[in-house]
Amino acid sequence: MLAFFTAVLGLFPAIFLTSLQVILLIILGWLVLNRRQISWSMVKVQLNWTHLALGQFFLFFLVNSIVFTALPGTPDHYRSVAIESWVVSLLALLLLALFLAYQEPTRLKAALIGWLPVGLCITFAIATVIFISGLQGPRIHIATPNPLVPPLWFLILTLCSFTWFAEMSRAHKALRVALFIMAGLMALYAGARLVMLAWLFSGLLLGAYLIAISPPRHRTKALLWGGLILVAGISVMWLADRLAGALLSHRLGMLFDLEVSREELRTRFPRLVLWDASLAVISEQMPWGAGNINERILIQNEIGWTRWLRAHQSYLSYLIAGGPLALISGVILQLPVLYFLRRNVFRDKFPAFIGLGAVLALNCLTDSILQSAVAVQAYMVILLLYQRAR
């Protein structure tokens, strides 16, 4: 059961909400089958800061969705969908906490080591077929809302899969290295330049970590192997990009072309326009914000575009949704990843911090990822699994 659970989690970058729905069904099925031995007192024993951090965020945005009505131009169903999403998130937190309280940490660890990569490999195979076939054009999104979802979550889950690296067999270690190269290719398949930069940054952090945990007599060898793997990975992606028309190279080049005017920059990078508009909205709506459901229409009215976009920066989105209180709630949501930096777990679980902490925080600076209830639910599942397993 845990094997299937973790394998399905590895499919999240491909099938998004569907994988979380399957995981919820697994949890419900287990709870029904084991209902006679379940006691809520077990949850009280297991209740910790992470559960409170997640719960306060879900509750805050549930209240936010109830208090703020839809402004003219915002579809009426947005409010009911938001309320439903945050209620389901709270319920899922309770059920997941109860489920994990009864799972043996060592068995959970074995399932994550053995079966999460299986789901990731299936995801990569699906992505490769779609990319080569050209079914979704030069930037694939598989069965997710946009092209940034598959490479970002594939990278996060791949980094988390390096947890307990020192204890793994050679085959599992080699598979992790292969998965990391796959994560770079996933960014290429989606033309996701910012995810590619996150891949490079996380690769440096991961490489430094793996060298640090190597026995002193093997560190020079580990450094050489790390350098060779990084060069090989970049070479494979460069070749694949060239064969596919060099879309990612072109998009990355735009980031470093500084000899352009401000207006040209704003044309090339719509985020700059969105951030200016978001700051204007925030100043108008202080101190309480205007409601999570109204973010898109307020930005649209400020810019005059017909495109239906968020702020493309999670912390700006929080301020639009509920002012400083929403921002504080969002920051609290991300604080539990600091658990992976604790002295007694750092050696084993630092890769989970790179994925759920560093990479996710970097993405929050360029995308409104944590305004999506589905993304927060995925963060919750991964976070609680890796905290529980040991």
Percent of the chain with pLDDT over 90: 59
Q: CB 343: neighbour CB atoms within 10 A? A: 6
115, 110, 60, 112: which is closest to 90 by C-alpha? 60
The encoded tokens of residue 220 equal 């020079």
Tell me how far apart the alpha carbons of residues 211 and 231 are, in angstroms, rounded to a whole number. 17
Task: Report residue 16's pLDDT band, with 50, 70 and 90 as the boundaries.
Answer: very high
Give domain status of residue 200, yes or no: yes
Q: What is the CA radius of gyration of the chain?
A: 21
Give me the DSSP letters along 274-307: HHHHHHHHHHHHTTT---GGGHHHHHHHHH--SS
293, 65 contact by CB (below 8 A): yes
State the pLDDT at residue 207.
87
Tell me how far apart the alpha carbons of residues 274 and 312 are, in angstroms, rounded to a whole number. 7
| Sign of the torsion angle spanned by Cα atoms 319, 323, 326, 327 | positive
SS (H, E, C) 204-248: HHHHHHHHHHCCHHHHHHHHHHHHHHHHHHHHHHHHHHHHCCCHH
Tell me how far apart the alpha carbons of residues 338 and 328 are, in angstroms, rounded to a whole number. 16
pLDDT(243) > 60:
no
State the pLDDT at residue 212.
86
Domain hosting 141: range is: 2-256+327-388
Give domain status of residue 357, yes or no: yes
Give domain status of residue 295, yes or no: no
Give the range among 112-116, 260-264, 331-335, 347-351 with minimum mean pLDDT.
260-264
- Phi first, then psi, for residue 49 (nearest 5°) are -60, -35
Give domain status of residue 309, yes or no: no
Give domain status of residue 307, yes or no: no
State the pLDDT at residue 167.
94
Tell me how far apart the alpha carbons of residues 198 and 155 are, in angstroms, rounded to a whole number. 9
Give domain status of residue 321, yes or no: no
pLDDT(192) > 90:
no
Total domains, the chain: 1
Give domain status of residue 169, yes or no: yes
Tell me how far apart the alpha carbons of residues 302 and 299 are, in angstroms, rounded to a whole number. 5
Task: Report residue 256's pLDDT band, with 50, 70 and 90 as the boundaries.
Answer: low
Q: CB 54: neighbour CB atoms within 10 A? A: 25
Once rounded to an integer, what is the mean pLDDT over residues 53-82?
A: 93
Cα dist from 92 to 38, 318, 380, 388, whole Å: 17, 22, 9, 16
pLDDT(175) > 80:
yes
191, 139 contact by CB (below 8 A): yes
Tell me how far apart the alpha carbons of residues 100 and 54 are, in angstroms, rounded to a whole number. 15
State the pLDDT at residue 47.
75
Give domain status of residue 272, yes or no: no
Query: 131-168: per-residue pLDDT in tens?
Result: 999 899 888 999 998 899 999 999 999 999 999 999 99
Once rounded to an integer, what is the mean pLDDT over residues 271-296?
A: 90
Give the range among 23-27, 190-194, 340-344 with minimum mean pLDDT.
190-194
pLDDT(36) > 90:
no
pLDDT(323) > 70:
yes
Tell me how far apart the alpha carbons of residues 323 and 320 are, in angstroms, rounded to a whole number. 6
